Amino acid sequence: MAQVKRIRRKVDGVLVLDKPREMTSNAALQKVRWLFNAEKAGHTGSLDPLATGVLPLCFGEATKFSQYLLESDKGYETVMQLGIATTTGDAEGEVTERKPVDVTPARLESILATFRGDIAQIPPMYSALKRDGQPLYKLARAGEVVDREARSVTISRLDVLDWDGDRVRLAVACSKGTYIRTLVEDIGRELGCGAHVAQLRRTLAGPFEVLSAITLDVLERAHEEGGAEALDGFLLPVDSALEHWPLLTLSEHTSYYWLHGQPVWAPDIPKFGMIRVQDHNGRFIGIGEVSDDGRLAPRRLVRSE
């Protein structure tokens, strides 16, 4: 008997998932997509399997704006294990070195201070970055090490939250593209004892905080009780990642031409920059950019029913 193909639902919005430990970001995405029975979904930047915390998932029309979450600042809490270095920079790797730990609070603070602000960071071999189309982590597993260019990142916060023996809990706020494993390894190297990430939790991604994130257990229970439609109440609006952008309301007449790809004039258009746009009914219809002549040009449009 032929297998009946599952008919997916059109689902639009953002779900802020609290990713569980020991699960890849893609596995979490596929599980949640299955629970929602959604046509289209994507995540906004991978978390390591070891990591937990904020993983925004975009559904349907929200996937058009996922790049702006990829580019957003992030926040983390991490436990730095001093005295032990590993192949991957975290607890999942093999131990490569053990050293005695003789670090004072003053010494640690002096080292942390050198990592605050704009720094150059070399991405780790165990990462999803690609070289000639091949992810670096695959090369690393094959025993290969290739040169990686240092990248500029910004560490806006790096503070000690707790210190228990050889384990230091740190709060980190950073720009996109920052690798916490590399940060911890570099700190350990400067301290002279080595270090790796024992725990990692993302607490912030753009405007989304871990306190408002939904666990997989909550989603599964809701699905058991009410099916896929019962999960829709957990979704945030399509433009929730852009709520800090200026908002412009277009008239019914102007919205028609703008939605057909034409730059338009409108009252109160800002002088420059990217704009979040809604129609006269308050419905989000896309994002635009102010052109040199002062008109609002469409950049990404939301599909209407």
Please tell me the distance from the alpha carbon of residue 198 to that of residue 146, in angstroms, as a whole number.
Answer: 25
Please tell me the distance from the alpha carbon of residue 14 to that of residue 12, in angstroms, as a whole number.
Answer: 7
Q: What is the pLDDT of residues 169-221, one digit of tens each?
A: 999 999 999 999 999 999 999 999 999 999 999 999 999 999 999 999 999 99
Q: Which of 18, 48, 186, 279 is catalytic?
A: 48
| Cβ atoms 288, 254 nearer than 8 A | no
Please tell me the distance from the alpha carbon of residue 154 to that of residue 264, in angstroms, as a whole number.
Answer: 37
The share of the chain scoring above pLDDT 90, in percent, equals 79
CATH for 74-200? 3.30.2350.10
**Amino acid code (one letter) for 94:** E
- Res 256 pLDDT > 70: yes
pLDDT score, position 132: 67
186 is catalytic: no
| Equal CATH topology for 74-200 and 245-301 | no
Please tell me the distance from the alpha carbon of residue 55 to that of residue 44, in angstroms, as a whole number.
Answer: 7
Q: Residue 194: exposed, middle, or buried by beta-carbon count in 10 A (0-12, 13-18, 19+)?
A: buried
Q: Which of 99, 123, 229 is nearest to 179 (CA)?
A: 123
pLDDT score, position 139: 66
Q: Show me where the domains of the chain are located.
A: 13-71+208-240, 74-200, 245-301
Least confident of 16-20, 84-88, 125-129: 125-129
Structure token pair of residue 21: 């430990």
| Mean predicted lDDT score pLDDT of the chain | 92
pLDDT score, position 272: 87
Q: What is the pLDDT of residues 227-236, one digit of tens each?
A: 999 999 999 9
Question: What DSSP element (H or E) covers 75?
Answer: strand 74-82
| Cβ neighbours for 47, distance < 8 A, ≥ 6 positions apart | 19, 25, 53, 55, 200, 202
Is the whole-model pTM more than 0.85? yes
| Cβ atoms 80, 194 nearer than 8 A | no
Read off the pLDDT band of 10 (50, 70, 90). very high
Q: Is the dihedral of CA 242, 243, 247, 253 positive or negative?
A: positive
- Res 257 pLDDT > 70: yes
pLDDT score, position 148: 78
- Res 168 pLDDT > 90: yes
Fold that domain 13-71+208-240 belongs to in CATH: Pseudouridine synthase (3.30.2350)
What's the N-to-C CA distance of the chain in angstroms? 36
pLDDT score, position 3: 56
Q: Which of 36, 188, 30 is nearest to 99 (CA)?
A: 188
pLDDT score, position 274: 94
Q: Which of 175, 167, 165 is nearest to 76 (CA)?
A: 175
| Cβ atoms 161, 170 nearer than 8 A | yes
What is the 8-class DSSP label of residue 276? E
Structure token pair of residue 54: 């904020």
Please tell me the distance from the alpha carbon of residue 86 to that of residue 130, in angstroms, as a whole number.
Answer: 22
pLDDT score, position 284: 96
- Res 4 pLDDT > 70: no
| Cβ neighbours for 264, distance < 8 A, ≥ 6 positions apart | 250, 254, 257, 258, 295, 296
Least confident of 139-143, 270-274, 282-286: 139-143
Q: What is the mean pLDDT of residues 126-133?
A: 68
pLDDT score, position 38: 97
The share of the chain scoring above pLDDT 70, in percent, equals 92
| Cβ atoms 17, 218 nearer than 8 A | no
What are the beta bridge partners of residue 231?
A: none
Please tell me the distance from the alpha carbon of residue 147 to that of residue 252, in angstroms, as a whole number.
Answer: 55
pLDDT score, position 227: 95
CATH 3.40.50.970 fits 245-301, yes or no: no
pLDDT score, position 305: 59
